Structures are given as structure tokens and as C-alpha cells.
Amino acid sequence: MDGFDVFTVESGGARLRVFACGQGPPLVLLPGIGRPPADLAAFAGLLVQAGYRALLPEPRGIGQSNGPLEGITLHELAADVAAAMDADSASGAVVIGHAFGNRVARALAVDRPDLVRAVVLLSASGKVHGSAKSAEWNRLALDASADPQERRAAAAAAWFGPGADVTPWLTGWCIAQREAFAQAARATPLSEWWSAGSAQVLIVLGGADASSPPQNGYLLKEEIGPRAKLLELPGIGHSLPVEAPAALAQAVLPTLSEFFGLEVPHTSDESVTPSRGPPAHASMRPNTDNTSSSGSHSLKTRS
């Protein structure tokens, strides 16, 4: 990925590439299942511009990263991330996991609390599953042999908010890794990762997420109480950091500052409205352009 330094680490028979950019308090960004770290490059660029260092480990089975894909659990995947953090002396980091990556982030917070200051969970999943219709949308959207228009429509319904460009997620999938990581999740008891240990938690939901229903985030917030904060971005789908990197960065930066004990940047209160609870419905250069059209979404908050 252009604009990032690259180093490699080894972990439990796996050899992983790690992309790094910026200087400052450490952030670790984990992509969704079957997806490359490039999904997070634009979002990471905005965080780097705000004064952070971003590490983007490339999961085993993606790109040039490799390692065993059978007989693994979330704990092995968390150890991969820990190896990248240890190599970069990134202790006391905030780990940001998108979709499946949020499960790995939570497992890492349990297994290596010395490394994890807090976790940010984007499009959180785990207990409440999408509908049967959503599952069919996902199946069709991942089928490269499907009718192009039908596939595009399914991708829009499964992963994106109204009017968003679905093109980035029509390519870049690794189906074999996706299936292996899904099995790794099934092999890991929910109790071993769900609560993220004792870490502070920021939950960020896309209000139009059909694949990981927002109820997951509200349920986690209810269960772990005051160490969690919840933000909802209405009208944004499951692909949150791909669809709306600028809106997402604007939403999370104040809480990142709080996690690190830094001065909280000013944000306009005009775009912030309190959340009243869960909804009823179930080039890869870092982007440092603050004028992204994705920054106009309103924000719901719940402490």
C-alpha cells in the first residue's frame, strides 16, 4: 500500500506483513473477514493526520501473509496481531477492529491486556445475526459468477447504506480465508472474547448495517456498562470504514483522545444527537483529505 512502511513478523507458524504509517500514540486497525488491510487505508490516513501511528497487520491467508488456516481459534489470530504490536513496541495501543476484526480485537484484549489500552469495535457482531434475506444477499454478493447487476444490488443491500458506491467490495475477497476464519470463530467460545476483558470499549455502529445488526452493539453496551461508549452513524452500512472514512474518523477522534489522556479535539455539537436505544430493525495511499464527501453524516451517541 503506497504511503505505508512494511515489515514482517512471525507468529505460531504464520508469517505476516504489517503496514505502518505515522508517529504518535499507537493504533492497530484490523480488517473484516476475507478482506485486506487496504480497506482501512483511507480511515487510517485520517487518524495519522490527527497525530497517531497506525499499524495495519495483514491477516494470514490474505495477500503475502500466510500461515495455518485449519485448527485455529480467535486466540491464534489475536496472537498474530500481538506479534505485530510487539515488533513495533506498540504496547498500550487502541485496537480498532472492523466487522470480524472486532472479534479478534476483543480476544486480544482478553489475552494480552498489557498491549491493549482500549478497543474500538466497528460494525460489531457476535450474538444477533442478520436475517435470512441478509444471508442470501451476502451469498450472492460474494458470488463472482453471478449476474453483475444482481450481485451489485446484493452488495448494496448487505453491506452499504443508501446511495453508497459498492465497487470497492466487488473485488478483493479471499473466500478460503473467509471460510477458515469463520470456522475459527465457531471454535472459540463466546465467553472467551465477547466482553473484551477489562478494556475500555468504543462501539461504533452503522445504522443501516444489515449484516451485523446494530442490536449487537447495544447488547454489548448493556452488558458491560460504564466502560463502554456507543456511537451510531445513521444511514451507513456494514462497510463503515470503506463507505464513510471521514465521518468515522470525526466520530472516533474525540474518544481516542480520551483513551490516551490527550486534549479532546473540538467537534461541532450540531451533528450530535443522543441515541435513545437500539433500532427496531434487526490507490491505497492513506487518505488525508478532510473534504471527503463521507463526512456529512449525523451522529447518535450513548454513554
Any idea where the domains of the chain sit in the sequence?
Answer: 5-129+172-302
- Rounded Cα–Cα distance for residues 267 and 23 (Å): 23
What are 181's three cell numbers?
476464519
Q: In terms of DSSP bridges, do strands 93-98 and 116-122 run parallel, antiparallel, or are they unpaired? A: parallel
Can you tell me the mean pLDDT for 82-92?
97
Helix (H, G, I), strand (E, B) or coil at 276: coil
In 3D space, the residue among 130, 145, 117, 150 whose CA is nearest the CA of residue 257 turns out to be: 117
Q: What is the pLDDT of residues 52-63, one digit of tens each?
A: 999 999 999 999
298 confidence band (pLDDT: 50, 70, 90): low
Predicted TM-score (pTM) of the model is 0.89
Can you tell me the mean pLDDT for 245-260?
97
Can you tell me the mean pLDDT for 131-137?
93
- Rounded Cα–Cα distance for residues 103 and 126 (Å): 8
What is the four-CA torsion angle of 112, 117, 122, 125, rounded to 10 degrees?
40
CATH of 5-129+172-302, one of 3.40.50.80, 3.40.50.1820, 3.40.50.720, 3.40.50.300: 3.40.50.1820
- What is the rounded average pLDDT for all residues in the chain? 89
Helix (H, G, I), strand (E, B) or coil at 247: helix
Helix (H, G, I), strand (E, B) or coil at 121: strand
Asked whether the predicted pLDDT for residue 276 surpasses 70, the reply is no
Can you tell me the mean pLDDT for 87-116?
97
What DSSP string describes 4-64?
Answer: -EEEEEEETTEEEEEEEE--SSEEEEE--TT--GGGGHHHHHHHHHTT-EEEEE--TTSTT
Asked whether the predicted pLDDT for residue 269 surpasses 60, the reply is no
